[in-house]
Amino acid sequence: MSNLGITHHCLLCGSPLELQLLDQRQRETCPTCGWVYYPQLKVGAGMLVEQDGKLLLLQRSHDPWAGRWNLPAGYVEADENPARAAERETLEETGLTVRATRLVNACFFDDDPRGNGVMLVYAGEVVGGSPIGSPETLAWRYFSPDEIPAELAGGGDDRIITGWKNIQLALAGGGHDKAILQWKDSGDGAVEKSASEQCSK
């Protein structure tokens, strides 16, 4: 379980916070003005970029999970549409201009030392650019389903990538219904309609 974070002082009046039982949880509360600190999940957005049946993965250059592979992805700004965040992060990390076409999966994660969160993943269509390196990546590569590396990053990437692998292998074996179940099981709440669309490709 990752650290949810503690503010310690009221953001409104600066008074030290105290723990109180509210809504059946211990919450940091200001004894002076009554302000309550409610920790929020971080929101990440990633992109499934495919080419000739292969999935684009990036090898991380920094912690957490340095040296492991993940999707083009990053955190969503507070005033940003998650689909636009996925497009922005993909461009920054790969040099590819990719359009998010639909939401295909959502995954809760609690293994990131920077905080718990939700990863939203979009199917992407490359509309321009050329693959380049970035300071955030050691390497990039398109992987076929049977080439997916075992060393996958956490933060939802491992389950999302494994879900993509399973659905592709199931489809290759003619298992349409099995592919839907594999995709739904990969993300603690996958989008059923989009999973069906993914299977019909």
pTM of the full structure: 0.80
| Whole-number pLDDT of residue 192 | 36
Q: Any alpha helices (H) in 26-115, and if so which ranges? A: 82-94
Distance separating alpha carbons of residues 75 and 66, to the nearest angstrom: 17
**pLDDT under 70: residue ranges of the chain:** 1-7, 175-201
| Whole-number pLDDT of residue 133 | 80
> Which residues face 69 on adjacent strands?
59, 152
Written as one letter, the residue type at 12 is L
- The domains of the chain are located at 1-39, 42-199
> Whose CA is closest to 194, among 81, 105, 120, 126?
105
C-alpha distances in Å from residue 57, one per residue of 24, 44, 176:
42, 16, 25
| Whole-number pLDDT of residue 134 | 87
| Whole-number pLDDT of residue 3 | 43
- Residues 6 or more apart whose Cβ sits within 8 Å of residue 138: 59, 60, 61, 67
Q: 42-199: what CATH class? A: alpha beta
Alpha-carbon dihedral sign for residues 30, 33, 39, 44:
negative
* Residues 92 and 134 sit within 8 Å (Cβ to Cβ): yes
| Whole-number pLDDT of residue 7 | 61
| Whole-number pLDDT of residue 6 | 57
* Residues 39 and 52 sit within 8 Å (Cβ to Cβ): no
Give one word for 51, left, alpha or beta, with left for phi > 0 and alpha for psi -120 to 50: beta
| Whole-number pLDDT of residue 173 | 81
| Whole-number pLDDT of residue 132 | 86
- Residues 6 or more apart whose Cβ sits within 8 Å of residue 55: 48, 49, 142, 143, 145, 148, 161, 164, 165
Q: Any alpha helices (H) in 149-188, and if so which ranges? A: 157-172, 176-185
| Whole-number pLDDT of residue 200 | 30
